[in-house]
Structure 1
Amino acid sequence: MNRLSKCFALVCACAAVALAPAAGAQPLPKAVSIGTNSPGTVFYALAGGLAKVTSGPMQVTIQPYTGTSTLMPLLNSGELDFALINGVDMGMAYQGPKLKVGGKNDFPHSPNARLVMRGAPLLIGLLVKKDSPLKSVHDLKGKRVTGEYPAHQAVWYNVFGLLATGGLTWKDVTVVPVPAVNDGIDALVQGRAEVTAGALNMAKIREADASVGVRHISGDCSAAGDKRVRAAVPGYYTRVVKAGRAAAVTQDTCTVAYDIYFGTHRSAPEQVVTAMLRSVWDNVDKLKPLHPGFAEWTRERAAAADVTIPYHPAAIKFYQEKGAWTKEMDQAQQRLLALNR
């Protein structure tokens, strides 16, 4: 082999090494799924938006479930790739029975849950028929209010928290048992209940408004009301929504809010988590036109210290590269991991 041939062979060998996949690296799967709540909910709509901006190298599909209680075991086991769930539910499922809110925690213990990205806050409001005489949480004593929610425990905490803003508990109302959030709205429309609750701008509320006319009524957003809900359901806080800013909000209305989490499981492959996170990060501005719930879904909110479950290692690495990971976040990560050791 002459000198020129040797040089050419060396260049080809170096190129082959550079282009070869890293040792142990796996190709991206053809498809991944995002588990979330049933059609008609805000979570379902937001999951659709995430699937739209992340589909590319992988086909991203939505897998709906009745509620958090049914999908969390599947995420924990790795049967589901990703999930869009509220942060309070995920925190309770992650810690298991040792963490109780309102004297209960029926979520299946899910110690393998991991966070990819903190999303926007979700706003929840009390809902009545448009011609109801009820004006606020302070009018609800003795009224028929939807409750129990065995298939959708998150909504049990939603109503519990909204009642708590007014200093009320389940004992102060007449509980109308329903399985999940959509069933609660159906109970209101059918007249079996006088009050229910749902996320602002959910499709099911728009349907109910078109059918019989509904409106949101206020919780108590005073300093005392905010303090009561924070004590009742850690992770909840109050927020006032201006009239006309959401469907069925006919006047300035006090709601409760909590953070939406885009989560995965501990064994999720690093390259899959990174690919999904990068797709959302790079296309975050494309989310806002898709649904009002994306209004506060920002890069600045993605990584935070005040979260309820630990981040996936691939997410941490991504945020470190973006300069978005802090010492406080690292301390929170270690504290959260220690809860299930």
Structure 2
Amino acid sequence: MNVFFTFSLSGMIFLSSVASASAGEALRLGTAPAGSLSFTFGAALSQLIGKHTDMRVEVLPQGDVVALPLMESREMDLIAIANDALGYAYDGKGIYEKQTDGRGFDLRVLALGARYPATIVVAGDSGIKDYRGLKGKRVVLDYATQQAFSLGSRASLVSGGLRESDVTVLSASNIQTAVQLLLERKADGIFGRIGMPALRRLEANRKGAMYLSSGEERWEEVQRISNAYLPMKLKKPFGVPEGAVFVAQNLSLAARPDLPEEIAYKIVKVLWERESDLAKHHPQFCHLVKERFASEVSTAPYHPGAIRFFSEKGIWLNKMQARQENLLYRYGRLAIR
């Protein structure tokens, strides 16, 4: 039986079906649910590929815990996933340990996408002005199957100089539930990405959203959680002073390892050539820099098709090849390179 999802972006309707993949069918791209940056990127990429290549991409907004097993069974071809969650999925850690018995999901990166900043968010009327004000407060750190949120919340807390033991840890099934807890004053802080649609309700209530600045002194400790994280400064973002520093990471586009090399090459090529078109779909895509599609901060190895393209462009450097070999040899995943 097929399961159908419909959704719209900029007036366009996309229809996706879960079915067995076969030759000549559209590629299937897994994303987070509608309203997420991952979903918006997937829908935009689907448009670009459909318009500028002979391929089609169907977007399935089911979340990575559904999409990743489907990639193993070749019912899914691509996934848009946060770089920290990608590394945990590849390593078989966190929520992915049980899914894979600790062996991890074998994935290959096509490109590191836009960087997006995140932090702990509090209500404007809470009286909390910085991370020190969170001590002893109730903070949502656990987000069920949304591994990237659970990781990012902890990285943000560490960047602000706190430990889990410094706060009362709360759980939420998703970011929407976390926002509701904040609105109902049942939580004092939640994890949030700048520009996240789910935070609009908070921005319209309780005197708005306050995004806490973390500083730049604790990055070695932050990167023990994941080397995906980078410090990022923003100019006058809503609710924070100019020059505030946030925990940032890339949204990654990854593929199953046996995706044909030519298909991977063509996808990366259209992303490279049409990178500026993505900014029309979301402000965060303005932070997309194609020269950073290939990077040693990737938490999983690259696909051969992507490496071929980046080598032609002269941006596949020795340090990236060293990182590639380390990731492949570390897990013995050399059969498909």
Q: Name the TM-score, length of structure 1 as normaliser.
A: 0.81
Q: Could you tell me which of 71, 87, 92 is aligned with 1:91? A: 87
1:171 to 165, 170, 176: 165
Q: Secondary structure at the match of 2:135?
A: coil
The answer for the alignment partner of 2:177 in structure 1 is 183
Distance in 2 (alpha carbons) for counterparts of 1:76 and 1:139: 45
Q: Distance in 1 between matches of 2:50 and 2:287?
A: 22
8 A Cα contact 2:97 2:104, kept in partner: no
SS at match of 1:251: coil
Distance in 2, Cα, partners of 1:212 & 1:71: 36
Q: Which residue of 1 aligns with 2:222?
A: 229
Q: Alpha carbons of 1:197 and 1:275: their partners in 2 closer, same or farther (altered >3 Å)?
A: same
In the alignment, which of 179, 183, 193 is matched to residue 187 of structure 2?
193
Structure 1 residues 103-139: Cα deviation after superposition (integer angstroms, max 9, x where no partner): x966744342110011121211211122110111111
* 1:322 maps to which of 306, 313, 316: 313
- 1:150-170 Cα offsets, whole Å, 9 max, x none, are 211211111111111233222
Post-superposition Cα deviations, 1:36-55, rounded to whole Å, max 9, x if no partner, equal: 11222222222222222222
Displacement of 1:212? 4.8
Secondary structure at 1:55 match in 2 = helix
CA contact 2:129–2:212 (8 Å) conserved in 1: yes
1:220 aligns with 2:214: yes
Q: How far apart, in 2, do the equivalents of 1:161 and 1:107 lie? A: 23
Q: Which aligned runs of 4 or more in structure 1 are off by greater than 4 angstroms?
A: 104-109
Structure 1 residue identity aligned to 2:235:
K
Seen in structure 2, the aligned counterparts of structure 1 residues 106 and 189 have a Cα distance that, compared at 3 Å, is: farther
* Gap regions ≥5 residues in structure 2: 1-21, 333-337
Q: Deviations over 1:272-323 (max 9, x none)?
A: 2222222212211211232121122122011123322111111112222333
**Counterpart position of 2:37:** 42
Q: Matches of residues 282-293 of structure 1 in structure 2 within 5 Å?
A: 282-293=273-284
Between the aligned partners of 1:200 and 1:166, the Cα distance in structure 2 is: 17
Residue 6 of structure 1 is matched in structure 2 by: none
Counterpart residue identity of residue 86, structure 1: A
Matching residue of 1:12:
none
Is structure 2 residue 117 aligned with structure 1 residue 126? no
Root-mean-square deviation (CA, aligned residues, Å) is 2.5
- 1:240 and 1:298, CA in 2 relative to 1: closer, same or farther beyond 3 A? closer
Moved more, 109-118 or 73-82: 73-82
Letter of the structure 1 residue corresponding to residue 59 of structure 2: I
TM-superposition CA deviations, 1:240-291 (whole Å, max 9, x none): 32223xxx43423331111221111111122322222222122112112321
Contact 2:141 2:191 in 1 (8 A): no
* Aligned residue among 233, 238, 258 for 1:240: 233
> What SS is found at the alignment partner of 1:328?
helix
Find the counterpart in structure 2 of residue 260 from structure 1: 251
Match of 1:29 among 24, 27, 30: 24
Whether the aligned pair in 1 keeps the contact of 2:84 and 2:151 (CA below 8 Å) is no
CA distance in structure 2 between the partners assigned to 1:80 and 1:49 by the alignment: 18
Q: Which residue of 269, 285, 288 maps to 1:294?
A: 285
**What amino acid is aligned across from residue 261 of structure 1 in structure 2?**
S
Between the two proteins, what is the percent identity of the paired residues?
A: 26
Q: Is the 8 A contact 2:143 2:174 kept in 1?
A: yes
More helix, by proportion = 1
- Which one-letter code corresponds to 1:168 in the other structure? L
With normalisation by structure 2, the TM-score equals: 0.82
**Who is 2:58 aligned against?**
61
Please name the residue that 1:8 is paired with.
Answer: none
Q: Aligned equivalents of 1:29 and 1:199: distance in 2?
A: 38
Question: How far does residue 220 in structure 1 lie from its aligned partner after superposition?
Answer: 2.5
Distance 1:95 1:230 in 2: 16
List runs of 5+ in structure 1 lacking aligned partners: 1-26
Q: Would the alpha carbon gap of residues 340 and 114 (structure 1) be closer, same or farther in structure 2, given more than 3 Å must change? A: same
Q: 1:234 to 1:315 in 2, by over 3 A?
A: closer
Task: Kindly tell me the number of residue pairs found equivalent between the two proteins.
Answer: 306
* 8 Å Cα contact 1:159-1:197 kept in structure 2: yes
Distance in 1 (alpha carbons) for counterparts of 2:254 and 2:29: 9
Distance 2:141 2:273 in 1: 40
Q: Which moved more, 1:52-61 or 1:124-133?
A: 52-61
Distance change >3 Å, CA 213–CA 70, structure 1 → 2:
farther
